[in-house]
Structure 1
Amino acid sequence: MTTTSDGSRKELLTNVLLPVAHEDDALATARALEPYDPDHVTALHVVETTQGAPDKTPVEQSRTVAAESYDAVRTVFPDADEHTAYGQDIAETIFDAVEAVDATAIAYRPRDGNRILRFLSGDLTITLVTDAPVPVVALPRRGSRD
């Protein structure tokens, strides 16, 4: 059980927000979360947008990636909800989704990458664990190949 900033108490895994990047990541992340038996899961796919330039991927391709990701999560959590969000800042978009779906925690698998790559990309992990409005659960990467 977790005590929130307003003094109320919530179960940590009541509604877990599960950010996923693509189908393989979604399946691996859902499988990593499965042993912890969350009450409910909301899969989140963030479509990164850019200001004043074409988006990184076409809208239809982004929708397809999101749908494949949600289907993969539902192989592990059949009742999982889905939430697609659009934004320039991935971490801020995840934080906005926490509020939108009333998540009690964020669960994610840290992505591979060396220190320089993480530094250049802004290291989403550091932002998640230091600035999130709810507890963040870093799932183990055992057996991961991505």
Structure 2
Amino acid sequence: MTLSFDGTVIVPAADPDDGERTATSLAPHLTASSKVIVVNVVEKSGGGIDKAPVAQREEHAEDIFRRTRSPLEQTDATVETAVLYGTDIVERVFTEAGDRNADAVVFVPRAGNRLAELLTGDVARRMVKEASVPVVALPQTDV
């Protein structure tokens, strides 16, 4: 079975390696009618102290977008990027997916041990469990 994304897909990327991994795995599945929206969610504390200054987080997002665009530029797909802000990463990604009428949210799960998943809340697991649009977890390809 050949998988292709002919519509709009949201690609959440937490860091440059994460974005590049997902873009590399996604690129072979894109067509000329594909639209990829790479997003990075700047997590706000909701009234508390933020983890880092917003300007620093936005600069980090630009690094993510630069690395993520590279494999996608080899395709005929349209590529956009967006910095999102929210107190809940998963909720914010799905809100964006709804706002953009996305067909799917696509990512490559990061490797991690069970203890790390329990401590961090395992965003990948929540992406699947709380999905409001189809979620596709692609296998990692060698970068």
TM-score w.r.t. the length of structure 2 is: 0.84
Tell me which of 7, 14, 28 is aligned to 1:14.
Answer: 7
- Does residue 73 (structure 1) correspond to residue 68 (structure 2)? The answer is yes
Aligned to 2:45: 50
Structure 1: gaps of 5 or more residues: 1-10
What do the CA deviations read for 1:79-133 (whole angstroms, capped 9, x no partner)? 3111211111111111111122221100011122111221222221221112211
Residues 24 and 141 of structure 2 are in contact (CA less than 8 Å); yes or no, is this contact kept in structure 1?
Answer: no
In structure 2, distance between residues paired with 1:73 and 1:102: 22
Which stretch shows the higher mean deviation, 66-75 or 83-92?
66-75
| Alpha carbons of structure 1 residues 91 and 13: separation in structure 2 relative to 1, 3 Å | farther
**Deviation of the 1:60 alpha carbon:** 1.1
Aligned to 1:5: none
Residues 73 and 80 of structure 1 are in contact (CA less than 8 Å); yes or no, is this contact kept in structure 2?
Answer: no
Calculate percent identity across the aligned residue pairs: 34
In structure 1, distance between residues paired with 2:14 and 2:29: 21
Question: Which runs of structure 2 are paired with 1:1-146 in the superposition (5 Å)?
Answer: 13-38=6-31, 39-78=34-73, 79-143=78-142
SS of the equivalent of 2:106 reads strand
In structure 1, distance between residues paired with 2:17 and 2:130: 27
**Deviation of the 1:13 alpha carbon:** 4.1
Provide runs of 4+ in structure 1 moved above 6 Å.
Answer: none
TM-score w.r.t. the length of structure 1 is: 0.82
Equivalent residue pairs, number: 134
**Deviation of the 1:55 alpha carbon:** 0.8
SS of the equivalent of 1:57 reads coil
**Deviation of the 1:67 alpha carbon:** 1.2
SS of the equivalent of 1:80 reads strand
Structure 2: gaps of 5 or more residues: none
In structure 2, distance between residues paired with 1:128 and 1:13: 21
Root mean square deviation, CA, Å: 1.8
| Alpha carbons of structure 1 residues 13 and 107: separation in structure 2 relative to 1, 3 Å | farther
